[in-house]
Each structure stands twice: as C-alpha cells, then as structure tokens.
C-alpha cells in the first residue's frame, strides 16, 4: 500500500475492495435536486410581511393565541384526509388544507361544543380569509388574478409541491398545508435564488466547483510513482460519502455525495470545511469525483445547507487525480480496512 510519504505496494493491496457508490450514496430525484437551491430552501414567510397583523383582530375575537412554530416547503402531494379548499392564483390552482386530526383540534379551540355543520361554515370562513390575506400581503411579482373557489374532496389535490405550516392555537398543535401548482413553485424558486445571489454579491463570470474526496502532499521526486499504473495508495481517511467542495483552488464547503438518477451529485452540509494545507515542499495531489462549471453568481446558492449540485459524472468508482486544477490521471476508488484507497489506472 502507499501513503502520503511514499508510493509502494505490498500484499495488503490484495485486501482492497472497490467502493460501491450505488449502494452507499443516497438516491435523490432530479426534481428535488432542481429545487434544492431555491424553493426547498426558501422562507415563504419573508414574502408576506404584515400578514400576522391582519389576523390579530380575528384571534382576539375568538379568544385564541396563535403562534407559528415551523414553515417548511416540501415536494409532492400532502397527506390525504382532512379538509381542503381551493383557489386560483394567476390562472393556476392553489389549495389550502388541514390534516384530519388538526381539523378537530382547531375547532375544539375556535368553536368548542359545536357540531359538524357549524365547523364547515367556520372552516370555510377561515380558509377564505386566509386566502385573501395571503394575496394582499404578498410582496412578490404582481398577481394577475386571485379567486377563492371553495371546498374540494381531499383526494382531488393535483399539486407540484406544498408548504407545510405548523402552529399552535393556545396550546394545541395544528398542521396546515398549502398546495402549489408548477408555475407558482417555479416562481418562488426563481425569486429565492435571485434573492440569495443578490445578497451575496458574488462576482459574475465562470467558476469551477470541484468535488474533492482527499488530498495528498507528494514529494516532487516521487510524483511519478504515485501516477504509475497499478499503484495502490492509502488515502488515510475514513471511507464515507463526505467530500470537500472547492471553488477554484479554495476549500469552500463540506458536502455529501448523492446519486441523482444515475449521476453524482453533492448535498451541501452545514459546518466548517476541514482542508489542512499540504506540507511545504510537496505537490498537492487532489482526488476528485468531478467538477462543475457554472456562473460565479450562482455559486452563492450552494452556500445554503441542503442545496444540491448535480454533475454529469455517472455513478461509479472512478476518480480523477488533479494537480493545479488539471487532471493528470485516473484511478479506481477503493476501500482498505475502512479507509479510502485508490488504484491508479
């Protein structure tokens, strides 16, 4: 085996096993990856300033204290059951719903002792008021039309994505959701991405984002041994799906490798990146899954934990050997005694 101080092989190389990316990397749908830097990272409440003030008279009249505890955008269909109301926003359907258990909990606080008929009247009033208060508080692009349609069967909810809102009425937890059509999802996605780019003030122009598994400090006189076909090198780091994202030559963010419908992706992780400098007098040899060229203004989107970058590199076991951002060789990514190793091709 080889390490950072020399490139030699011994009988231990027989114990090297190929790293199985198909099995280890979490599978993610392309739709989730596409919305991971915008809609799925956005904070919808930022676009509705003043909506809480619109509901103070209602909460006081009902003798209830309302507190929002969590707002989260989610993909796909919301859970079935409960009550659902529909509206139209700029020609596209939007739905507002309550989970089945939340309906009874809400009515127990708002209308204690009432029957189902009274519930339906009050629920429709609250949904109608919420729909139009959202429309009037909206601070994004102008809405061409807004209309409330009324109740829907809970099974008929064709939406592209949802926003889940958890709140308490007095001390009772309630969960509501807002189902959005494809057009509105794309609008919110673009708005958030532009907002992130604007806040970061990133420089425009081309940028290279690199997915680095490890780095070696190689003495220049032994570099040819490290690049020799068949050489097996112990990278001396635990085998995992963790990588370092580099922008150019700068270590930038930690990440986690994903399988995005057959191609490598990386999900940005929270926390500081760990990338110590190589020893003086050595050449930095990077082991990379691949790189993505993008506009510098888009790099800021990747600073959000949970953002996903997709490469055009098929899921597999080959990696690049890189010096000064230039590919100088290829290798198989392997595992030896729980650590990463490579076999130079």
Query: Residue 85's closest CA among 112, 125, 56?
Result: 125
* pLDDT at position 3: 46
Same domain assignment for residues 275 and 339? yes
Which residues, 6+ apart, have CB-to-CB distance to 206 below 8 Å? 293, 294, 295, 296
Q: Which has more pLDDT, 110 or 256?
A: 256
- 82: DSSP letter: S
Same domain assignment for residues 284 and 158? no
Q: Does some domain include residue 2?
A: no
**Residue 69 belongs to domain with CATH number:** 3.40.1550.10
Written as six digits, the tokens of 166 are 């958890």
**Over the stretch 4-40, which tens digit does the pLDDT of each residue have?**
444 445 444 568 899 999 999 999 999 999 999 999 9
Q: Does some domain include residue 140?
A: yes
* pLDDT at position 157: 64
CA distances from 283 to 84, 171, 279, 280, 324 (A): 63, 62, 9, 8, 9
CA distance 266 to 261: 13
* pLDDT at position 220: 92
Same domain assignment for residues 127 and 210? no
Same domain assignment for residues 239 and 164? no
Same domain assignment for residues 288 and 160? no
Q: Is the pLDDT of residue 2 over 60?
A: no
Q: Does some domain include residue 166?
A: yes
Residue after which a domain boundary falls, among 153, 177, 198: 198
Q: What is the pTM of this model?
A: 0.88
Written as six digits, the tokens of 42 are 């956005």
Contact 295, 204 (CB under 8 A): yes
CA distance 7 to 106: 68
* pLDDT at position 122: 86
* pLDDT at position 13: 55
Same domain assignment for residues 232 and 172? no
Chain centroid to CA 202: how far? 20
Residue after which a domain boundary falls, among 143, 175, 198: 198
Same domain assignment for residues 46 and 175? yes
- Please give the tally of structural domains in the chain: 2
CA distance 196 to 186: 15
Residue after which a domain boundary falls, among 175, 198, 221: 198
* pLDDT at position 264: 97
Q: Is the pLDDT of residue 227 over 70?
A: yes
Q: Label residue 112 by pLDDT band (50, 70, 90).
A: confident
Q: Is the pLDDT of residue 79 over 60?
A: yes
* pLDDT at position 154: 59
Instruction: Show the domain range for 232.
Output: 11-34+204-344
Give mean pLDDT, residues 80-86. Answer: 80
Q: Does some domain include residue 215?
A: yes
* pLDDT at position 14: 60
Same domain assignment for residues 329 and 254? yes
Query: Residue 89's closest CA among 5, 167, 187, 20?
Result: 187
Q: Label residue 297 by pLDDT band (50, 70, 90).
A: confident
Give mean pLDDT, residues 154-173. Answer: 82
CA distance 107 to 119: 7
Q: Is the pLDDT of residue 108 over 90?
A: no
Q: Does some domain include residue 5?
A: no
3-state secondary structure of 192: helix
Written as six digits, the tokens of 141 are 């692009």
Same domain assignment for residues 210 and 336? yes
Query: Residue 18's closest CA among 320, 338, 239, 317?
Result: 317
Same domain assignment for residues 127 and 157? yes
Written as six digits, the tokens of 142 are 């102008």
* pLDDT at position 57: 84
* pLDDT at position 141: 87
**Over the stretch 240-256, which tens digit does the pLDDT of each residue have?**
999 999 998 889 999 99
Same domain assignment for residues 72 and 191? yes
Same domain assignment for residues 46 and 190? yes
Query: Residue 286's closest CA among 15, 21, 4?
Result: 4
Q: Does some domain include residue 237?
A: yes
Q: Does some domain include residue 1?
A: no
Q: Does some domain include residue 79?
A: yes
* pLDDT at position 203: 67
Which residues, 6+ apart, have CB-to-CB distance to 225 below 8 Å? 2, 6, 7, 8, 231
């Amino acid at each position: 085996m080889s390490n950072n101080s020399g490139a030699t092989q011994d009988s231990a190389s027989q114990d090297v096993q190929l790293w199985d990316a198909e099995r280890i990397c979490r599978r993610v749908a392309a739709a989730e990856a596409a919305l991971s830097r915008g809609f799925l990272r956005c904070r919808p409440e930022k676009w509705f300033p003043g909506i809480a003030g619109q509901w103070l008279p209602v909460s006081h009249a009902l003798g209830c204290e309302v507190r929002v505890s969590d707002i989260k955008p989610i993909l796909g269909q919301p859970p079935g059951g409960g009550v659902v109301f529909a509206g139209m926003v700029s020609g596209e359907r939007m739905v507002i719903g309550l989970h089945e258990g939340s309906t009874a909990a809400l009515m127990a606080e708002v209308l204690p002792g009432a029957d189902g008929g009274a519930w339906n009247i009050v629920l429709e009033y609250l949904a109608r008021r919420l729909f139009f208060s959202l429309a009037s508080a909206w601070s994004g692009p102008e809405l061409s039309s807004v209309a409330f349609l009324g109740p829907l069967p809970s099974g008929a909810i064709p939406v592209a994505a949802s926003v889940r809102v958890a709140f308490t009425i007095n001390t009772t937890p309630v969960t509501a959701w807002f189902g959005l059509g494809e057009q509105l999802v794309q609008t919110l996605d673009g708005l958030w991405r532009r907002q992130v780019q604007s806040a970061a003030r990133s420089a425009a122009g081309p940028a290279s984002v690199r997915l680095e598994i490890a780095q070696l400090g190689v003495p220049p006189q032994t570099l040819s041994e490290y690049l020799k076909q068949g050489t097996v090198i112990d990278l001396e780091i635990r085998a995992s799906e963790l990588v370092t994202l580099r922008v150019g030559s700068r270590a930038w963010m930690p990440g986690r490798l994903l399988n995005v419908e057959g191609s490598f992706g990386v999900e940005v992780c929270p926390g500081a990146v760990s990338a110590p400098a190589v020893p003086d007098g050595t050449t930095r040899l990077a082991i990379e899954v691949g790189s993505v060229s993008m506009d510098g203004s888009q790099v800021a989107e990747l600073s959000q934990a949970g953002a996903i970058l997709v490469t055009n590199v098929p899921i597999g076991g080959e990696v690049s050997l890189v010096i000064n951002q230039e590919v100088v060789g290829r290798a198989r990514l392997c595992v030896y005694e729980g650590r990463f190793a490579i076999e130079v091709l």
